[in-house]
Amino acid sequence: MYGTATAAASTGADQASRSAGTGARITAVTHLDARTLDMTVQSRAMRSFVKVRVILPKSWKIERGRTFPVLYMLHGGADDYTSWTRETDVEALAENSEALVVMPDGGRYGYYSDWYAGRPRWETFHTVELVQLMERRFRANSSRAAIGLSMGGFGALNYAARHPGMFRYVASMSSYVDLNEPSVRLLLDLGSTADGVDLDDVWGDPKENVDIWQAHNPAARPDAFRGTKVHLSSGNGTPGPLDEGRPLSALLVGAAAEKTLPASLQKFAESLRSAGVDVSTNLYEPGTHSWPYWERELHSIWPTVMEELT
């Protein structure tokens, strides 16, 4: 299985450039079905092995001399690279897609950043090593989009701001966007503490290293999004029909996590428009911090994502 998958992944790529410029390399590929595969990447930046799930374009095996655009899909906190295919029908959505759909692991609370403490280095892995591997092994081209939910939505915005021009389109679902907001600081503290993460290790001390915090704060960098189309969405925290059958505890957490987002997203959208950024919003009612709403949003934006990529 490994030999067949590796040969297939290399077809049409530069056979002499199987590793990223940093030395990161794909060490294993497992096909889950005809077009979905999991690969293991030995990352120099991470000094560890990282999992990535990939859905191949419809014509990938047929048009061997062609390159393809890439949609990066980033998962939320306390989750992993399997979340999008586990919780949504993204594989069905991508059935006729001519884009690579790439779903990398980002750590349970990795915050899509190179940590101040030195490791992990998620940003380098995602924006350098993985991008190069997709180009060299899977015939990816430079047309890219990124979408994410919750922590992954922050990650998509963070990467777009820190790497201007890297993405044509970026969508953030139910994500915090301003690290300066007290409610966001509290949310991050609670989430990270529960997983044993010290935020000082991520971006340094909030007072002594304010420059690092602001360099990773999407709301502080609206001008950096020029040239990238941005979509922001969230619910208002009120439970609705899509929440039927959920445990009360999960419902309460989902409601609380979503409640403060609309006002923050609206403020961010206004600052983006003032900076000349093409931005759209979907602030829906009702809606909680949960997968049924994110799957519905994925269906809503999918045609636009594919249009922007091609």
- What string of pLDDT tens digits covers the 310 residues of the chain? 333 344 344 443 333 346 889 899 999 999 999 999 999 999 999 999 999 999 999 999 999 999 999 999 999 999 999 999 999 999 999 999 999 999 999 999 999 999 999 999 999 999 999 999 999 999 999 999 999 999 999 999 999 999 999 999 999 999 999 999 999 998 888 878 877 899 999 999 999 999 999 999 999 999 999 999 999 999 999 999 999 999 999 999 899 999 999 999 999 999 999 999 999 999 999 999 999 999 999 999 999 999 999 8
Pairing of strands 25-31, 36-43: antiparallel
**Whose structure tokens read 């609370």?**
109
Asked if 157 contacts 175 with a C-beta cutoff of 8 angstroms, the reply is: yes
What local confidence, expressed as pLDDT, does residue 2 receive? 32
| Whole-number Å distance between alpha carbons of 259 and 261 | 6
pTM exceeds 0.75? yes
Asked if 97 contacts 69 with a C-beta cutoff of 8 angstroms, the reply is: no
Cβ-in-10-Å burial (0-12, 13-18, 19+) of 201 comes to middle
29-68 per-position pLDDT tens digit = 999 999 999 999 999 999 999 999 999 999 999 999 999 9
Which of 87, 102, 88 shows the shortest CA–CA distance to 35? Answer: 102
For 231, other C-beta atoms within 10 Å of its C-beta total 24
| Whole-number Å distance between alpha carbons of 94 and 88 | 12
What local confidence, expressed as pLDDT, does residue 189 receive? 86
What local confidence, expressed as pLDDT, does residue 22 receive? 87
Burial 48-75 (b: 16+ CB within 10 A, else e): eebebbbbbbbebeeeeeebbbbbbbbb
What local confidence, expressed as pLDDT, does residue 4 receive? 35
Retrieve residue 142's tokens: 């430079």
What local confidence, expressed as pLDDT, does residue 19 receive? 82
